[in-house]
Structure 1
Amino acid sequence: MAHRELLARHRSVMPKWLALYYEQPIEIASAQGRRVTDREGRTYLDFFAGILTNAIGYDVAEISDAVRSQVDTGVLHSSTLYLIKSQVELAEKIAKLSAIPDAKVFFTNSGTEANETALMLATQHRRSEQVLALRNSYHGRAFATVAITGIRGWSASALSPIKVSWVHGGYRYRSPFRDLSDADYIKACVADLREIIETTTAGDVACMIVEPIQGVGGFATPPDGLFGEFKKVLDEYGILLVSDEVQTGWGRTGEHFWGIQAHDVVPDAITFAKGLGNGLAIGGVVARPDLMDCLRANSISTFGGNPLVTAGALASLNYLLEHDLQANAAKLGSRLLDGLRAVAAAHPVVGDVRGKGLMIALEFVGPDGAPNPAAAAALLEETRERGLLVGKGGLYGNVIRLAPPMTLTRAETEEALEILTQSIEAVAKEVQQQ
Structure 2
Amino acid sequence: MADETLLERHRAVLPAWMALYYDEPIEIVRGSGRHVTDADGRTYLDFFAGILTNAVGYDIAEISDAIRRQVDTGILHTSTLYLIREQVRLAERIAELSGIPDAKVFFTTSGTEANEAALLFTTQARRSHQVLALRNSYHGRAFATMAITGNRGWSASSLSPINVSYVHGGYRYRSPFRELDDAAYIRACTEDLRDVIETATAGDVACMIVEPVQGVGGFAMPPDGLFGAFKAVLDEYGIPLISDEVQTGWGRTGEHFWGIQAHGVVPDVMTFAKGLGNGLSIGGVVARGDLIDSVSANSISTFGGNPLSAAGARATLEYVLDHDLQANAAKQGGQLLAALHEAAERHAIVGDVRGKGLMLGIELVEPGTTRPSPRAATAVLEAAKAAGLLVGKGGLHGNVIRLAPPMTLTDGETEEGLRMLLTAIEHADGELNR
TM superposition score category, shorter chain reference? over 0.9
**1:3 to partner: Cα distance:** 1.8
Structure 1 position 369 matched with structure 2 position 390: no
**1:113 to partner: Cα distance:** 0.1
Structure 1 counterpart SS, 2:284: strand
What residue number does 2:214 align with?
A: 214
Structure 1 position 272 matched with structure 2 position 272: yes
**1:298 to partner: Cα distance:** 1.2
- List aligned pairs for 1:241-252, cutoff 5 A: 241-252=241-252
* Contact 2:250–2:326, Cα closer than 8 Å, also in 1: yes
Structure 1 position 385 matched with structure 2 position 391: no
**1:102 to partner: Cα distance:** 1.3
What residue number does 1:419 align with?
A: 420
Sequence identity percentage? 73
What residue number does 1:42 align with?
A: 42
* Contact 2:217–2:394, Cα closer than 8 Å, also in 1: yes
5+ residue gaps, structure 1: none
**1:369 to partner: Cα distance:** 1.0
> What do residues 83-131 of structure 1 show as CA deviations (whole Å, max 9, x unaligned)?
0001000000000000001100000000000000000000000000000
Matched residues, number: 433
Amino acid at match of 2:185: Y
5+ residue gaps, structure 2: none
Amino acid at match of 1:394: G
Rounded to whole Å, the distance in 2 between the matches of 1:79 and 1:317 is: 23
* Contact 2:2–2:25, Cα closer than 8 Å, also in 1: no
Rounded to whole Å, the distance in 2 between the matches of 1:307 and 1:136 is: 36
Rounded to whole Å, the distance in 1 between the matches of 2:209 and 2:45 is: 34
> What do residues 145-170 of structure 1 show as CA deviations (whole Å, max 9, x unaligned)?
00001110100100000100000000
What residue number does 2:263 align with?
A: 263
Amino acid at match of 1:85: R
What residue number does 1:134 align with?
A: 134
What residue number does 2:322 align with?
A: 322
Amino acid at match of 1:223: P
Structure 1 counterpart SS, 2:401: strand
* Contact 1:62–1:315, Cα closer than 8 Å, also in 2: yes
What residue number does 1:197 align with?
A: 197
> What do residues 394-421 of structure 1 show as CA deviations (whole Å, max 9, x unaligned)?
0111000000000000000000110111
**1:2 to partner: Cα distance:** 5.5
- List aligned pairs for 1:166-205, cutoff 5 A: 166-205=166-205
Rounded to whole Å, the distance in 1 between the matches of 2:43 and 2:296 is: 52
Structure 2 counterpart SS, 1:296: coil
Rounded to whole Å, the distance in 1 between the matches of 2:225 and 2:301 is: 36
**Range moving further from structure 2, 365-374 or 320-329:** 365-374
Rounded to whole Å, the distance in 1 between the matches of 2:215 and 2:157 is: 20
Structure 1 counterpart SS, 2:218: coil
What residue number does 2:407 align with?
A: 406
What residue number does 2:306 align with?
A: 306
The alignment's C-alpha RMSD in Å is: 0.8
Structure 1 consecutive aligned stretches of length 4 or more whose deviation exceeds 4 Å? none
> What do residues 363-418 of structure 1 show as CA deviations (whole Å, max 9, x unaligned)?
00112211011100110000000000000000111000000000000000000110
* Contact 1:350–1:365, Cα closer than 8 Å, also in 2: yes
Rounded to whole Å, the distance in 1 between the matches of 2:4 and 2:241 is: 46
Amino acid at match of 1:389: L
> What do residues 169-228 of structure 1 show as CA deviations (whole Å, max 9, x unaligned)?
000000000010000000000010011111110000000000000000000011000000
Rounded to whole Å, the distance in 2 between the matches of 1:269 and 1:329 is: 24
**Range moving further from structure 2, 408-417 or 295-304:** 295-304
Rounded to whole Å, the distance in 2 between the matches of 1:69 and 1:248 is: 29
What residue number does 2:354 align with?
A: 354
What residue number does 1:81 align with?
A: 81
* Contact 1:79–1:301, Cα closer than 8 Å, also in 2: no
Rounded to whole Å, the distance in 1 between the matches of 2:71 and 2:375 is: 46
Structure 1 counterpart SS, 2:348: coil
Rounded to whole Å, the distance in 1 between the matches of 2:46 and 2:3 is: 19
Rounded to whole Å, the distance in 1 between the matches of 2:79 and 2:23 is: 41
- List aligned pairs for 1:86-97, cutoff 5 A: 86-97=86-97
What residue number does 1:156 align with?
A: 156
* Contact 2:2–2:24, Cα closer than 8 Å, also in 1: no
Rounded to whole Å, the distance in 2 between the matches of 1:148 and 1:86 is: 32
> What do residues 329-385 of structure 1 show as CA deviations (whole Å, max 9, x unaligned)?
000100000011111111121000000000001000112211011100110000000
Structure 2 counterpart SS, 1:149: coil
Amino acid at match of 2:403: L
What residue number does 2:15 align with?
A: 15
What residue number does 1:27 align with?
A: 27
* TM-score normalized by the length of structure 1: 0.99
Structure 1 counterpart SS, 2:44: strand
Rounded to whole Å, the distance in 1 between the matches of 2:319 and 2:48 is: 20
What residue number does 1:287 align with?
A: 287
Structure 1 counterpart SS, 2:419: helix
Amino acid at match of 1:103: A
